[in-house]
Every structure is written in C-alpha cells, then in structure tokens.
C-alpha cells in the first residue's frame, strides 16, 4: 500500500515537472517568434545562402544517398534551393507530410512541382506522390526549429511530429538542425522524449554534437 502511495506521489511530481517545462517552452516560443518578426529580408536571405553553403560542404550530405528535408515556411530558413539541389544531384529525397494528428511520414518526391499546399497551409507532397520512405533508409536528415542551443537541443512548434518521426530513424542517420545565429538560445527546456540533434548549422558554421568538435 505504501509503495502505491509513493508511486502516485512520484507520478504527480513528474506530471507537474512536465507541465512546467511545457509552459517554459511556450514562453520561449513567444519570445523567439517576436525576434523572428523583427528580422529583415536582407538578413534572412543572407543567412539562408550561408546556411545552404554550410550544408553542401558536409561530408554527411555529400555521402548520403537518401535525404530527409523539411519544406520551409515563410518564417523558416529557406530550404527550396536545397531541395532542388538534392533532386539535381540524383539523391533520393523525402519530405514530410502530416497524415494524422501527431503523425508524419516522409514521401519521396521527384520534382518541386509535386509539392502542394496541404491542410495546414504548408507545402507537402501531393496525391501523385505515393512512395513513403522507410525511416530506416534515411542517411541524412535536415530538421527545422524555432530555436535551438549549441548542445543540439531543439525547440519545435509543439506538435511532436518531428520527435515521433526522429525516433524511427536509425542510429547512424546524422540529424542536422538549421537555426539562425540570432535565434539560438543558451538553454532549451527539454522533456524526456525530445530528440537531440547531431549537428547544429547556422550561418556562422557547424557544430558537431557527437564528436564535440566545433567548426565555427
């Protein structure tokens, strides 16, 4: 009986801790989104080009035959030129498509014309795209964020789509997060299910988390 009471107390503590972290994430999202709204077009375009250059210089990118990459929204780092670059190189490209609440799959595309406006107002593979990539086939993944830190901890939009999908990827799949330097934070509130990235890429350089080597 005493053990059950103790277990209940521990579960209550955990629930309270998770609620605190969720609230911290919510507050941080609001602060970073305010910063994003103040970025100039010139600043974002310049950093986008530098980040693309950083990605293309990576051995992990060059050596990968199958790549997962998000399709950017207006406020995110522009990945459209990168998607075209991947397609032109002959690599297999999988991009995300939400198929249910909290559920996301990677559909292979052959060209950018196959991207259509989805239910969330985000470009995603159209109905003609019927090949779903097995997550275990992905060798290099490019992941979005609202913010992150130099330890590879990521602040997303809060839907959990990417965390659930990243869990399915193989251990040897290198996962890179893209973030503008001005939007990085020293600390990111994290929960147990939050996935840590292997690489952090900004306009200033690349941070390798696993090897603990900074290329900036």
Judging by DSSP bridges, how do beta strands 174-178 and 154-155 pair with one another?
A: unpaired
Q: What angle do CA 199, 201, 204 make, to 5 degrees?
A: 135
- Known binder of ligand: residue 212? no
Q: Residue 103 and residue 109: Cα distance in Å, rounded? A: 19
pLDDT value at residue 10: 52
pTM (global) more than 0.75: yes
Q: Is the pLDDT of residue 7 over 50?
A: no
Instruction: Give the three-state DSSP class for 130.
Output: coil
The DSSP code for 112 is G
Parent domain of 38: 2-214
- Known binder of ligand: residue 58? no
The CB density around residue 189, as the number of other CB atoms within 10 Å, is: 17
- Known binder of ligand: residue 28? yes
Tally the domains of the chain.
1
Question: Residue 153: how many CA atoms within 13 Å on its side-chain side?
Answer: 13
- Known binder of ligand: residue 71? yes
pLDDT value at residue 173: 96
- Known binder of ligand: residue 154? yes
- Known binder of ligand: residue 160? yes
Per-residue pLDDT tens over the stretch 85-141: 999 999 999 999 998 887 899 999 999 999 999 877 899 999 999 999 999 999 999
What distances in angstroms separate CA 199 from CA 3, 73, 131, 168, one per listed residue?
A: 43, 21, 28, 18
pLDDT value at residue 15: 62
Contact 58, 211 (CB under 8 A): no
pLDDT value at residue 11: 47
- Known binder of ligand: residue 156? yes
Percent of the chain exceeding pLDDT 90 equals 76
CATH number of the domain to which 99 belongs: 3.40.50.10420
**What's the mean pLDDT when you consider all of the chain?**
90
Contact 199, 176 (CB under 8 A): yes
- Known binder of ligand: residue 127? no
Can you name the residues that pair with 182 across neighbouring β-strands? Answer: none
- Known binder of ligand: residue 157? yes
pLDDT value at residue 5: 46
Closest CA to 142 of 89, 204, 193, 80: 80
2 — pLDDT class (breaks 50, 70, 90): low
Per-residue pLDDT tens over the stretch 128-176: 999 999 999 999 999 999 999 999 999 998 888 998 999 999 999 999 9
Contact 200, 209 (CB under 8 A): yes
Q: Is the pLDDT of residue 181 over 80?
A: yes
- Known binder of ligand: residue 193? no
């Amino acid at each position: 009986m005493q053990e059950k009471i103790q277990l209940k107390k521990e579960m209550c503590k955990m629930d309270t801790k998770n609620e605190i972290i969720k609230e911290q994430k919510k507050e941080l999202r609001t602060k970073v989104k305010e910063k994003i709204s103040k970025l100039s077009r010139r600043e974002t375009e310049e950093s986008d080009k530098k980040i693309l250059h950083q990605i293309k210089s990576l051995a992990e990118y060059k050596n990968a035959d199958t790549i997962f990459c998000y399709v950017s929204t207006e406020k995110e780092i522009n990945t459209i030129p990168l998607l075209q670059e991947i397609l032109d190189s002959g690599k297999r490209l999988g991009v995300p498509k939400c198929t249910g609440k909290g559920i996301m799959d990677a559909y292979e595309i052959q060209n950018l014309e196959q991207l259509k406006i989805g239910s969330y107002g985000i470009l995603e593979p159209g109905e003609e795209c019927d090949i779903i990539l097995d997550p275990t086939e992905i060798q290099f993944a490019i992941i979005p964020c609202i913010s992150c830190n130099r330890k590879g901890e990521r602040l997303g939009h809060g839907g959990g789509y990417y965390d659930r999908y990243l869990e399915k990827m193989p251990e040897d799949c290198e996962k890179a997060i893209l973030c503008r330097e001005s939007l990085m934070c020293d600390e990111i509130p994290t929960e147990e299910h939050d996935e840590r990235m292997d690489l952090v890429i900004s306009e200033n350089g690349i941070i390798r988390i696993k090897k603990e080597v900074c290329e900036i």
